[in-house]
Amino acid sequence: MISLAAPWVLLFLPLPLLVRRLLPAAPPRAVAALRLPFLREVQGPSGAGRGAKRSSHILAWLAWVLLVVAAAQPQWLGDPLRLPVAGRDLMLAVDVSGSMEQDDYRLNGRPVNRLSVVKAVAGRFIARREGDRLGLVLFGTRAYLQTPLTYDRATVQTMLDEAVIGLAGRDTAIGDAIAVAVKRLKEQAQDDRVLILLTDGANTVGNIAPLDAARVAARAGVRIYTIGIGGSPVGVPTPFGMLTQVGSDLDPATLSAIASETGGRYFEATDTEQLAQIYAELDRLEPSVRDTRSFRPMHSLFMWPAGAALIISGALAIFGLPRRAPIEQAGGDA
């Protein structure tokens, strides 16, 4: 349907009539006149002149009407579209330190390293977060903002898929990762700010301690859900044919304290199925859509009446309005 954004502008339509009626007429200009007794023969049929004048006045009025309609901002409104309203600004902080290359998980029946499992399971989680703004932080020795908060889930997924182990260093800076994520979440006006932090180790480096970063997050209104992976030891062959147990330096006490400080929860995943269940639980705890709103696409149409008025005005300027000739008709004698 077509509507007007400023319909009150239509009140200016009778303005030329009001100006003509209320303002005094301009005084006649003093021009030389030649009295011709045969003026009617020179001018030709008087009806043609009156017809041209009438047409010009009609075109002038049409141009004025079109200008006023253009000023009223006509627009075309499309059919209503229902859009989800995001309930969350959600940051993912993923550990890419050296320990994430251990092949102690299985995916589709074959052994894979920890980061590969995180990419597969977290990727499905990202795909389900329709309507949320998502961001990605990768951390190792240092923490980097890989993707700022965005509705473009495909970009977040791509940046996660392209992450490689050791990209941010071989150590683990959990506190720095929290600080980087909280800084970005604080810049948003959204009330529901969530950080999901996934790591397989304890904090070993960094400029801020994890619990201090958690307290900053709590003051900023950011809930942190922590996920610890690689908690169970696995056997690996040695060069001597012996099997040795490779444990994990996971620090569940610190991760649990971080979650508790901010009103979140701590999860631990020792296999792929548990990790998938954790992300499903996060979907339940932090639903992605809270409400829906109606949106109608709008296309402005003012350029059409404005363009038509410009064309008419140009034609009138080129051909001119009929004017009274500065000639007076004489009486009986010259």
Domains of the chain: 2-23+30-78+297-329 (no CATH), 83-293 (3.40.50.410)
Q: Is the pTM of this model over 0.85?
A: no
Nearest to 177 by CA among 151, 214, 133: 214
CB 126 within 8 A of CB 142: no
* Residues paired with residue 120 on neighbouring β-strands, in sequence order: none
Taking only the tens place, the pLDDT of each residue in 14-45 is 988 888 888 777 676 655 555 555 555 555 55
pLDDT band at 235 (very low <50, low <70, confident <90, very high): very low
Q: For residue 130, what are its two tokens?
A: 């329709």
Predicted confidence at residue 245, as pLDDT, reads 37
Residue with tokens 């980087």: 180
Q: What is the mean pLDDT of residues 120-129?
A: 86
**What mean pLDDT value characterizes the chain?**
79
Predicted confidence at residue 327, as pLDDT, reads 47
Predicted confidence at residue 128, as pLDDT, reads 83
Taking only the tens place, the pLDDT of each residue in 62-73 is 999 999 999 999
